[in-house]
Amino acid sequence: MQNNISKVKLIQKLLHKILTFKLMDKLDKELQERKIPRSKVSEEAARGPTTFNKTFSEAEDLRMSTFLRYWFSIMKIIEREEKEPIKFDSMLDDEMREVVEIAVQIADDELEYVVNNNKEFFMGIKIYVKELKKSKALTQEEMEIFSEILDYIKEA
């Protein structure tokens, strides 16, 4: 497995989509617990009624400003409806931290080294890649690079 900039960028993009998927999934569960529909979040954020849903289902790589717009809109809804606040840190977990660490490590180290030392991680994220693929949130190149990583792990 050769280490070139385009492969590294593709893997990082894939990992960012997984991170977004996980964060949005946790946020969605928090909204469901409080019976807050996604459309209400979109409207509160001054977006079209399906914008938040689209962001969620397509695992769009959110800009910080977009995420914060949604976050503060959710906080306004919660306050207005006197619902239990969402603690941001409760939405972050060790697996998300690991995704970030691997994305950074891939930029700094040889790709083969990172994959060899993180085989369980790459095998473990298959479930997210499958979900992202099902929702058509991955490009053909992202699916191919992940298949290449899995093939490399099988051969090693």
pLDDT for 114-152, tens place per residue?
A: 999 999 999 999 999 999 999 898 999 999 999 999 999
Q: Contact 121/47 with Cβ under 8 angstroms?
A: no
Say if residues 31 and 78 touch (Cβ distance below 8 Å): no
Separation CA 21–CA 131 (nearest Å) = 9
Query: Which tens digit of pLDDT belongs to each residue from 21-57?
Result: 999 899 999 999 999 999 999 889 887 777 777 776 6
pLDDT recorded at residue 2? 58
Task: Give the pLDDT of residue 101.
Answer: 96
Written as six digits, the tokens of 121 are: 């991680």
**DSSP of 113-141:** HHHHHTHHHHHHTHHHHHHHHHTT-S-HH
Task: Say what the pLDDT of residue 100 is.
Answer: 95
Computed over every residue of the chain, the mean pLDDT equals 90
- Three-state secondary-structure class, residue 36: coil
Query: Which pLDDT value is given to residue 125?
Result: 97
In the chain, beta strands by DSSP E: none
Per-domain boundaries in the chain = 5-20+91-155, 29-89
